[in-house]
Amino acid sequence: MEIKDILKYVDHTLLKQESTWEQMKVICDDAIKFSTASVCVPPSFVKECKAYCGDKMKICTVIGFPNGYNTTATKVFETEDALKNGADEIDMVINIGWAKEKKFDLIKEEIKAIKKACGNKILKVIIETCLLSDDEKIEMCKIVTEAGADFIKTSTGFSTAGATREDIKLFSENIGENVKMKAAGGIASLTDAEDFLKLGATRLGTSRIVSIAKSEQGSGY
């Protein structure tokens, strides 16, 4: 698989706490240059990034990030605010404590409320796989499907581990046919990216693939 064919699945991401506007402009420029699927930025930068990119790049942002334990009302407000500021896609974090307590109905209702706020905009649901058992992951596949979200996503990149091949395989065996998969966290090489795509992921949350593309420009990319 050529790198340009991988890049179109990438949500080019910068979510570090110390991120600055100058850094945001660079990742927006790179996302446009390399034709990524979107640029994923903190909510406080959505308005500026949308104004900067215009229609040249989709703006993705994160809700309830990275811990997921904001109230549902807070997450809905965050979502509405992000959309008003120009976000095209929303990546939300579930309440992981609720999953541990088997309060799956509460998680489903929260996802439904956020999807309602999203309307026709894409909603991706981060379940933080490294903190869940396989049984909890399987239940979350069911919940995400029933709630009407567009994607299930592995990780925030801010917990104990990121995406694994095993988790994407497990997702593929348990999600509904209308749910897509996003692998995020720890995607460090083209081999990683290819493997996740071959397993059925259609989005990759990473900044490293663009970094590789930039380093390869001199060799003919």
What digits encode the pLDDT tens for the residues 194-217? 999 999 999 999 999 999 999 987
**pLDDT < 50 positions in the chain:** 220-221
> Is 171:152 a contact under the CB 8 Å cutoff?
yes
What digits encode the pLDDT tens for the residues 83-101? 999 999 999 999 999 999 9
What are the structural domains, with CATH classification, of the chain? 3-219 (3.20.20.70)
β-strand partners of 125: 92, 152
Report if pTM > 0.95: yes
- Residue 38 is given by DSSP the state E
Residues labelled catalytic = 91, 153, 182
Percent of the chain's residues with pLDDT above 70:
98
User: pLDDT at position 59, please?
Assistant: 98
In angstroms, what CA-CA distances link 16 with 36, 41, 90, 110, 159? 19, 9, 17, 26, 13
User: pLDDT at position 217, please?
Assistant: 76
